[in-house]
Structure 1
Amino acid sequence: MRAIIFANGQMKNLSPTVIPIQAEDLIIAADGGLRFCMMHDIVPHLIVGDLDSVDHTQLKYIKQQGCEIIQYPVDKDATDLELSITAALNRGAQEILILSALGGRWDMTFSNILLMASDLVDGVHVRLLDGTQEIFCIKGAAKVMLIDRDGANLSLLPLSPSVNGITLKGMKYPLKNESLCLGTSRGLSNIVLNSRAAILVDQGMLLAVLG
């Protein structure tokens, strides 16, 4: 099952056409992410958070439409997005798309991105989209195919001290069994040249930014 989570970030590049919502998708608004849902007549199945960023008229409306509300105290140990991810996992999500999670406060933006690297989502396919770029995390031994993404810009940023056995196929700047260390800029601004390009990693953790 796929969950789509609307966070409380910037939404200027997003529209429902970016991610076609399917009938079987679980739609979650992470607190103020409800604004995006209401702008496009999307009624979420679930809203999660302390509700400090929610318009109470909108909250009343979605409650009348059958939306489940999970409210937390303002003083809590996790962000609304992390709590929303947990709710999605508890409901059996195997794929999670996170929308409108960038922009605004830098600390919140970094936290939203790093959630994809946490143990919380091990074994779950998580992507963050803002309408122009897609961000995902590659953990451990893995192969990621980039289908029909030729022409896209690809940047790879190590999140572990070193990432080993990196092979890039179908790229302007290919790599073969090489390593990237935390803090290096070598993995920035590659270009996908092939409709079946691939990223292979033997060990470590990489953040991929595709756009």
Structure 2
Amino acid sequence: MIRAIVFANGVMDGWPVGLTLSADRDLIIAADGGLAHCRRWEVTPHVVVGDMDSIAPGELTALEKTATEIIRHPARKDETDLELALKLAIDRGAEEIAVLGALGARWDMTFSNVLLLGSDFLSRTTVRLLDGVHELCCLQGSRQIRLHGRPGDLVSLLPISGNATGVSLKGLAYPLTDASLPFGTSHGVSNVFTGETASVTLKEGMLLISITRMAGKPF
């Protein structure tokens, strides 16, 4: 299975809990200014994609002399650099994508990055936004997802495209069976892992799933 690690140009205060990276096995993509996070964590990306407006000209010139592939897009474009990076990951065969540095800074960009999880082109791919002890992913349509954590970790389920129906939860303190979560409700907030795995099943709709690692330790 191909996994892509995408560095976005948001806030990245620390390395995500539990994430390990392998330059040999993972496809590493920097979305424009996400290259700065690569530099900070001493990661060499396989590809840098975007309009390159957040990268200093000298740094870009130096990068052109390396094995890193550079894919330039015009500044006037319809997608954000992160969306371009996600589409590139899918085109290169990624079945799982971890996105770092997608949150914080500008609210509009943060919301845009979160809502990208609900895009049709990602509907059959496991995509996680990772930020320190926090993880966000999206469940669409008739699907089930297995979550990993520790007892006491928090799980919140937020409908983001109308009502979510046929919701069943196992491995959490507050289980549900074939339930409905109306859009705009807080009913799915702050559930709790009782063990190290949990499952969420959805029949119709779209759920944003948030996990908070309360112990701040790898799972």
- TM-score computed with the length of structure 2 as normaliser: 0.91
- Structure 1 residue 189, shift from structure 2 partner: 1.0
Q: For residues 91-110 of structure 1, what are the structure 2 equivalents within 5 Å?
A: 91-110=92-111
Gaps of 5+ in 1: none
- For 1:127-186, what per-residue CA distance to the aligned partner results, in whole angstroms no more than 9, with x for missing partners? 110121110001112222223432211110001211111111121222121100111111
* Matching residue of 2:67: 66
Q: What is residue 32 of structure 1 aligned with on the other side?
A: 33
Q: What percent identity do the matched residue pairs reach?
A: 46
Instruction: Measure the CA separation in 1 of the matches of 2:74 and 2:197.
Output: 47
Question: Per-residue CA shift, 1:9-57, capped at 9, x if unaligned?
Answer: 0010226x75211212110000000001011221111101111111233
Q: 1:41 to 1:147 in 2, by over 3 A?
A: closer
1:182-193 alignment runs, 5 A limit: 182-193=183-194
Query: Greater shift after overlay, 60-69 or 72-81?
Result: 60-69
What corresponds to 2:20 in structure 1? 20
1:62-211 mapped onto 2 (5 Å cutoff): 62-211=63-212
Tell me the distance in 2 between the aligned counterparts of 1:83 and 1:132: 26
- Structure 1 residue identity aligned to 2:21: I
CA distance 1:18–1:195, shift in 2 (3 Å) = closer
CA shift digits 1:56-76 (9 cap, x unpaired): 333233322211111111111
Quick check: 1:30–1:81 contact (8 Å CA) kept in 2?
yes
Match of 2:216 in 1: none
> Aligned Cα RMSD in Å?
1.4
Contact 2:149–2:193, Cα closer than 8 Å, also in 1? no
Preserved contact between residue 18 and residue 131 of structure 1 (Cα < 8 Å): no
Distance 1:160 1:67 in 2: 38
Q: Secondary structure of 2:64's partner?
A: helix
SS of the counterpart of 1:38? helix
C-alpha offsets along residues 88-126 of structure 1, whole Å, 9 cap, x if unaligned?
Answer: 111111111111100011110011011110012121111
Tell me if structure 1 keeps the 8 A contact 2:165–2:204: yes
Match of 1:185, SS? coil
Q: Mark the runs of 5 or more structure 2 residues left unpaired by the alignment.
A: 213-219
CA distance in 1, matches of 2:50, 2:88: 11
Secondary structure, aligned partner of 1:96: strand
